[in-house]
């Protein structure tokens, strides 16, 4: 059985000898070891996976993980697209505003919230032709949060 890391002054003293955040997750003072898996792919397989991940606008790791474990990102992104489709044309919004209950928004993990914004932005602005055609970028609003307009 694996022993948990011993942490003193943000340096792990177990054999992994990692610096704070590298190889361990910190959550309200509790240390949880992170497990990593290394998988080998042929060049052909790797480039195919890379292409598929780019099509979805996610990292290679997120793409592979989504194929093995149902993940929050996929569920929340579908929810985001449904919320956008329900908006009236001309409505300005940012992604957070689409969740009427702010508590529900903050129940989404920070990494997923950031990925939602990045993926949505890419599909509205960066892909050619855009994958999302009923929304236009409006620009940055207060606190540097991207705003959109439903068209």
Domain boundaries, the chain: 1-36, 40-69, 72-150
CA dist., res. 14 & res. 65, Å (int): 28
Q: Does a cis peptide bond (omega within 30 degrees of 0) precede residue 129? A: yes
Cβ neighbours of 85 (radius 10 Å): 11
Give the position of tokens 């990045």. 118
Q: What is the mean pLDDT of residues 89-118?
A: 92
pTM: 0.59
Q: Which of 95, 100, 94 is nearest to 77 (CA)?
A: 95
**CB of 14 closer than 8 Å to CB of 6:** yes
**Sign of the torsion angle spanned by Cα atoms 96, 98, 101, 103:** negative
The predicted-structure confidence for 27-79, as pLDDT tens digits, reads as follows 444 555 678 888 899 999 999 999 998 887 778 888 888 888 877 888 899 99
């Amino acid at each position: 059985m694996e022993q948990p890391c011993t942490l003193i002054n943000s340096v792990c003293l177990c054999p992994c000898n990692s610096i704070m955040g590298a190889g361990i997750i910190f959550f309200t003072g509790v240390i949880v070891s992170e497990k990593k898996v290394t998988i080998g792919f042929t060049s052909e397989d790797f480039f195919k996976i890379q292409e598929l991940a780019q099509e979805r606008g996610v990292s290679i790791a997120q793409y592979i993980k989504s194929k093995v474990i149902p993940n929050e990102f996929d569920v929340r992104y579908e929810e985001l697209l449904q919320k956008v489709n329900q908006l009236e044309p001309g409505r300005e919004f940012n992604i957070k505003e689409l969740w009427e209950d702010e508590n529900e928004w903050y129940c989404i993990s920070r990494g997923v919230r950031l990925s939602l914004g990045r993926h949505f932005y890419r599909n509205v602005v960066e892909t050619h032709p855009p994958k999302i055609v009923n929304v236009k970028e409006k620009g940055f609003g207060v606190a540097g949060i991207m705003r959109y307009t439903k068209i």
